[in-house]
Amino acid sequence: MPTNDGAAGPRSRRERPAKPALSRQGIIDTALAILRDEGLAKVTMRRVAAALDSGHASLYVYVRDTEDLHAQILDALLGDIGVPAAADGDWRARMRTLLTEYGTLLARHPGIARMAMSTQPTGPHYMALVEAVLALLHEGGVADAAAAWGVDLLLLYPTAIAVEHSNPKADARRAEARTELADRLAGADARDHPHIARLGAALVSGTGRARTDWALDVLLDGILAANARTPEAEPGGTAAEE
């Protein structure tokens, strides 16, 4: 005999709200949320599929694999980088600002920084970043061939620095190591290591920002100097073929 105790019976599948249709952007947005909450290691096809209440095989219609997913995450994050305006300084100052902002973004996402060393993004925001770097090089008088090769060096430097500092748990140990290194340099025997003994203090001098600005200026000076000797790309040749 039926009762009227207010208990709800099982709902028909037809009564459940329809799941949002899968889309590439929806997958990327979900992956970004997982990245911010749980870290890059948790951003897998299965984890994203579970968050979307879908089978992971369905995601491959929109994303090739986990590496492609991570590359799309990097590209989405690059959308937060603004290109400095002409009023913000000469082309060198604006280049330093742009590349420092890129490095800072990577430093906030250690897993993404490490991934960026081996994964080549091709999304719209990455293309915008490359375009901005090339435009600044052109403004500075860098020849096209030198700019085309130099952009890789300029993007690699902040990426490498972000990777170097990508383990927050190692910050304390890194500080101890720097102190130990400074002590060793200061106490270097001039007979065995004359140059280290002479430059010991200078080797560990300067703030991180000052050293970064200096390194970027050195790279820019080198790219400018390479104007006359950078070979033109061979027809049909690509870096991937090396």
What pLDDT sits at residue 235?
Answer: 47
The phi, psi pair for 82, rounded to 5°, reads -100, 145
pLDDT tens digits, 67-93: 888 889 999 999 989 899 988 899 999
Note the pLDDT tens digit of each residue in 112-149: 888 888 777 888 999 999 999 999 999 999 999 999 99
User: Cβ neighbours of residue 136 under 8 Å, at least 6 residues apart?
Assistant: 91, 94, 95, 98
Q: How far, CA to CA in Å, does 197 sit from each of 15, 176, 186, 189? A: 78, 21, 7, 6
Distances (CA, A) of 189 to 37, 178, 192, 196, 205: 50, 19, 6, 8, 20
Q: Is the pLDDT of residue 181 over 90?
A: no
CATH number given to 83-229: 1.10.357.10
Query: 20-77 adopts what CATH topology?
Result: Arc Repressor Mutant, subunit A (1.10.10)
- Residues of the chain within CATH 1.10.357.10 domain(s) are 83-229
pLDDT at 155 over 50: yes
Inter-CA distances, 32 with 94, 120, 132, 164, 168, Å: 28, 18, 25, 23, 20
Token pair for residue 191?
Answer: 């007979």
Tens digits of per-residue pLDDT, 86-119?
888 999 999 999 999 999 999 888 788 888 887 7
H helices within the chain, ranges in order?
Answer: 24-38, 45-51, 56-59, 66-78, 91-108, 110-116, 124-139, 144-164, 171-186, 194-203, 208-225
Mean pLDDT for 201-211 is 88
Q: Which residue has the higher pLDDT, 50 or 56?
A: 50
Region 48-59: mean pLDDT is: 91
* pLDDT at residue 13, rounded to an integer: 47
The closest alpha carbon to 240, from 152, 162, 138, belongs to 152
Residues of the chain with CATH 1.10.10.60: 20-77
Q: CA-CA distance, 152 to 143, in Å (whole number)? A: 15
* Torsion angle of C-alpha atoms 167, 172, 174, 180, degrees rounded to 10: -170
Buried b (16+ CB within 10 A) or exposed e, 68-78: bbbbbbbbbbb
Q: What percent of the chain has pLDDT over 70?
A: 83
